C-alpha cells in the first residue's frame, strides 16, 4: 500500500480544489437533447479534453453525426505496448438532462450550490451525480496518481460521450469504426450507486430494455363523439382495454413467451440479497407510497433486480388541451418499456408483444410500431478477477465491507461495449437513492464524491495486479 497512501493523502488535502473543478464543469449547461444548448455541449467536451491534457493524456474531440466524443489515452507505467500492463477503459458522459421544470429548483440548475444537510454538505446542480460528479471521481484519482508518482499504475483509455441522455445515437457506429483503438481489458463505468452512504457496492447485474411505441389506428379522421359515439371504433377505448390485459391479477406479464428464457438467481444470490437488509417501507415512503406491488411471491429486490417488467410510460390520443372537446380520436398511442433480465432477448420480447397486440386487434383497427431501445441484460461473473480487484479497492477505503448489488435500470453502453469491443464492464458508482437523478434539485453528497475519488485511486492500484486479457 506504500504507493497508494501518498495518493490518498493528496486527494484529502486537495479536496477543496476537486470540488471547485467539479463546480466549474457543472456550470456548463451541456443539455444534449435541446439544440439550443449545442454550443454548451461542445464547451463541456472541450473542458474535459483540456483537463485530460493538463494531466498528460493524449486527448481530443472526435466528431460524430451528433455531439462529439472525447477520447484520451495514457500509456501508464512504461511503453504503451507493454503486454504486462493492464489496460482499462473509463466510460462516462458529459451531457446532462434538461433542467425543466425550472420553477421546482431551489437554486439555479447550472449554478452549483453547496448546502448543508443532515448527512453533511452536498452540491446541488443538474449533472451533479449523473454523470459529471461520478466522472470526476475517477478524473481526480488520475490527477492524484500523476501528481504524486508522475504516471498511472495502468494503461488508461477515456471515452466520454455527449449523447447518453438522448439515447447514444452516435455511439454504436463510433465503437464499430474505432474498435481497434478502443481495445482494453475491462471498462470502468461509474454511473451507478453505493448500497448506502457507508456501504460501498459494485453492481454486477443490470436489466436490459425493450422500449417501443405502439399506435392503434381507427377512423380516417377525428370524429364528433355525439354523431359517432357508440357506433364506431374508438382507438383510445380499445387501446386502454388491451393494455389493461398486459398483467394478470398476480402481476405476471401476459406477453407470449415472455418468461421462457428468464434465468433465475441462485440460492446463494437470494440469500446474499436477503442479508442486505433492504427496507422496503423506507424505499416506498421516500416517494410517498406505502403499499408494495408487483409480481406475487417475489421479494422487493427480486422484483427490482432479477425479474422482468412491462410498464406503460406514456399514453396519448384525442384532445388533451384545456377545456372540453368531445372527439373520438383517429388513433391512440402508448409508449411501453420492458426491463429485461439475463436470458431474455429484446427482439424476441418485441415479437411477443406484437403477437399479444395482434391477437387483440379490434375490427377496423391497425397497428403501427416503432422501437427506441433493444438492449440485453448484463451480468458480470462474481468471480471475475477485475470485479474482485474493484472490491478490494473499495475495502481499502471504507470501513464497511463492500457488497455486490443489482440494478433495476439499464446502461445500454455496457452491452454495446461487450458486443462490439468484446470485453466486460465494472460498474462501481457512488450515488445514493435520494440523489434526485433527472429531477429538480439533483445533488451529490460531498462524502460520496470524496469516497469515490479515494476508492478509484485504490482500485487503480488493485487493477494493476490483474493478469491481462489475451489480445487486449
Boundary of a domain, candidates 347, 374, 401? 374
Q: Is the CB of residue 412 less than 8 Å from the CB of residue 187?
A: no
Task: Label residue 82 by pLDDT band (50, 70, 90).
Answer: low
pLDDT value at 218 more than 60: yes
In whole angstroms, what is the distance from residue 301 CA to residue 348 CA? 25
Identify the CA nearest to 99 among candidates 27, 163, 48: 27
36 with 74, same domain? yes
214 with 202, same domain? no
At 365-379, the pLDDT tens digits run: 999 999 988 989 999
SS3 (DSSP) at 265:
coil
190 with 217, same domain? no
Identify the CA nearest to 90 among candidates 174, 161, 160: 160
Helix (H) or strand (E) holding 160: strand 155-161
pLDDT value at 410 more than 90: no
290 falls within a domain: no
145 with 196, same domain? yes
In whole angstroms, what is the distance from residue 73 CA to residue 429 CA? 22
- From residue 264, alpha-carbon distances to 177, 247, 308, 350 in Å are 36, 20, 11, 21
- From residue 144, alpha-carbon distances to 4, 11, 100, 341, 454 in Å are 10, 6, 36, 38, 10
Q: Is the CB of residue 168 less than 8 Å from the CB of residue 373?
A: no
Query: What average pLDDT does the chain have?
Result: 95
- CB-side exposure of 412: number of CA atoms within 13 Å? 21
303 falls within a domain: no
Check residue 428 and give its pLDDT.
97
pLDDT value at 1 more than 60: no
323 falls within a domain: yes
Task: Label residue 412 by pLDDT band (50, 70, 90).
Answer: confident
56 with 192, same domain? yes
351 with 446, same domain? no
- By the 10 Å C-beta count (0-12 exposed, 13-18 middle, 19+ buried), 248 is classed as exposed
Check residue 79 and give its pLDDT.
57
Check residue 2 and give its pLDDT.
81
Q: Which domain holds residue 418?
A: 4-206+377-463
CATH of the domain at 214: 3.30.70.360
Boundary of a domain, candidates 374, 398, 427? 374
pLDDT value at 11 more than 80: yes
- From residue 184, alpha-carbon distances to 36, 410, 418, 461 in Å are 36, 22, 11, 17
Boundary of a domain, candidates 348, 374, 400? 374
Task: Label residue 84 by pLDDT band (50, 70, 90).
Answer: confident
180 falls within a domain: yes
295 falls within a domain: no
Check residue 455 and give its pLDDT.
98
At 38-81, the pLDDT tens digits run: 999 999 999 999 999 999 999 999 999 999 999 999 999 975 45
Of 223-232, 396-405, 410-419, the poorest mean pLDDT is in 410-419
Q: Cell numbers at residue 258, please?
A: 415472455
Cross-sheet strand order for the sheet of 311-317: 311-317, 331-340, 208-217, 366-375
Axis crossing angle, helix 132-149 with helix 15-26, rounded to the nearest 10: 140
pTM > 0.75: yes or no: yes
170 with 88, same domain? yes
Q: Is the CB of residue 427 less than 8 Å from the CB of residue 409?
A: no
Check residue 282 and give its pLDDT.
93
289 falls within a domain: no
Check residue 409 and give its pLDDT.
86
248 with 336, same domain? yes
107 with 139, same domain? yes
Check residue 470 and give its pLDDT.
57
- By the 10 Å C-beta count (0-12 exposed, 13-18 middle, 19+ buried), 322 is classed as exposed
99 with 240, same domain? no
How confident is the model over 401-423, as a mean pLDDT?
Answer: 92
- By the 10 Å C-beta count (0-12 exposed, 13-18 middle, 19+ buried), 25 is classed as buried
At 277-334, the pLDDT tens digits run: 999 999 999 899 999 999 999 999 999 999 999 999 999 999 999 999 999 999 999 9
SS3 (DSSP) at 219:
coil
Task: Label residue 468 by pLDDT band (50, 70, 90).
Answer: low
Q: How many domains does the chain have?
A: 2
Check residue 50 and give its pLDDT.
98
Q: What percent of the chain has pLDDT over 70?
A: 97
In whole angstroms, what is the distance from residue 49 CA to residue 42 CA? 11
CATH of the domain at 451: 3.40.630.10
285 falls within a domain: no
341 with 445, same domain? no
363 with 420, same domain? no
273 falls within a domain: no
SS3 (DSSP) at 59:
strand
Identify the CA nearest to 308 among candidates 350, 274, 351, 342: 342
Check residue 185 and give its pLDDT.
96
- CB-side exposure of 268: number of CA atoms within 13 Å? 2
Amino acid at each position: 500500500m506504500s504507493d497508494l497512501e501518498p495518493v490518498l493523502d493528496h486527494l484529502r488535502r486537495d479536496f477543496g480544489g476537486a470540488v471547485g473543478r467539479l463546480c466549474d464543469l457543472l456550470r456548463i449547461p451541456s443539455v444534449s437533447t435541446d439544440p439550443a444548448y449545442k454550443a454548451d455541449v461542445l464547451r463541456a467536451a472541450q473542458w474535459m479534453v483540456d483537463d485530460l491534457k493538463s494531466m498528460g493524456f493524449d486527448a481530443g474531440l472526435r466528431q460524430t453525426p451528433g455531439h462529439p466524443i472525447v477520447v484520451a489515452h495514457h500509456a501508464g507505467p512504461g511503453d504503451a505496448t507493454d503486454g504486462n500492463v493492464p489496460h482499462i477503459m473509463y466510460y462516462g458522459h458529459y451531457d446532462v438532462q434538461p433542467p425543466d421544470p425550472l420553477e421546482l429548483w431551489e437554486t439555479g440548475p447550472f449554478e452549483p450550490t453547496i448546502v448543508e444537510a443532515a448527512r453533511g454538505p452536498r452540491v446541488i446542480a443538474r449533472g451533479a451525480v449523473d454523470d459529471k460528479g461520478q466522472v470526476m471521481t475517477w478524473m481526480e484519482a488520475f490527477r492524484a496518481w500523476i501528481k504524486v508518482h508522475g504516471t498511472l499504475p495502468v494503461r488508461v483509455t477515456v471515452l466520454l460521450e455527449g449523447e447518453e441522455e438522448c439515447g447514444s445515437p452516435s455511439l454504436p457506429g463510433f465503437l464499430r469504426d474505432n474498435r481497434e483503438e478502443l481495445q482494453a481489458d475491462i471498462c470502468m463505468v461509474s454511473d451507478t450507486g453505493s448500497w448506502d452512504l457507508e456501504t460501498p457496492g459494485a453492481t454486477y447485474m443490470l436489466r436490459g430494455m425493450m422500449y417501443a411505441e405502439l399506435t392503434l389506428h381507427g377512423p380516417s379522421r377525428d370524429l364528433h363523439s355525439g354523431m359517432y359515439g357508440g357506433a364506431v371504433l374508438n382507438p383510445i377505448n380499445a387501446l386502454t382495454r388491451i393494455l389493461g390485459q398486459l398483467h394478470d391479477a398476480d402481476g405476471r406479464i401476459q406477453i407470449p413467451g415472455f418468461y421462457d428464457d428468464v434465468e433465475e438467481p441462485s440460492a446463494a444470490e437470494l440469500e446474499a440479497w436477503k442479508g442486505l437488509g433492504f427496507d422496503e417501507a423506507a424505499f416506498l415512503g421516500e416517494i410517498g407510497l406505502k403499499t408494495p406491488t408487483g409480481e406475487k411471491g417475489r421479494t422487493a429486490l427480486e422484483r427490482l433486480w432479477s425479474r422482468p417488467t412491462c410498464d406503460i410510460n406514456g399514453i396519448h390520443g384525442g384532445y388533451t388541451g384545456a377545456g372540453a372537446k368531445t372527439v373520438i380520436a383517429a388513433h391512440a398511442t402508448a409508449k411501453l418499456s420492458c426491463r429485461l433480465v439475463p436470458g431474455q432477448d429484446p427482439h424476441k420480447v418485441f415479437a411477443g408483444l406484437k403477437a399479444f397486440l395482434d391477437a387483440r386487434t379490434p375490427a377496423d383497427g391497425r397497428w403501427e410500431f416503432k422501437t427506441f431501445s433493444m438492449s440485453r441484460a448484463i451480468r458480470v461473473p462474481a468471480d471475475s478477477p477485475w470485479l474482485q480487484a474493484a472490491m478490494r479497492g473499495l475495502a481499502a477505503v471504507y470501513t464497511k465491507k463492500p457488497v455486490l448489488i443489482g440494478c433495476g435500470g439499464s446502461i445500454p453502453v455496457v452491452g454495446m461495449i461487450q458486443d462490439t469491443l468484446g470485453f466486460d464492464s465494472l460498474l462501481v458508482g457512488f450515488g445514493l437513492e435520494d440523489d434526485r437523478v433527472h429531477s429538480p434539485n439533483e445533488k451529490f453528497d460531498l462524502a460520496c464524491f470524496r469516497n469515490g475519488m479515494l476508492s478509484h485511486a485504490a482500485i487503480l492500484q488493485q487493477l494493476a495486479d490483474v493478469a491481462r486479457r489475451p489480445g487486449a
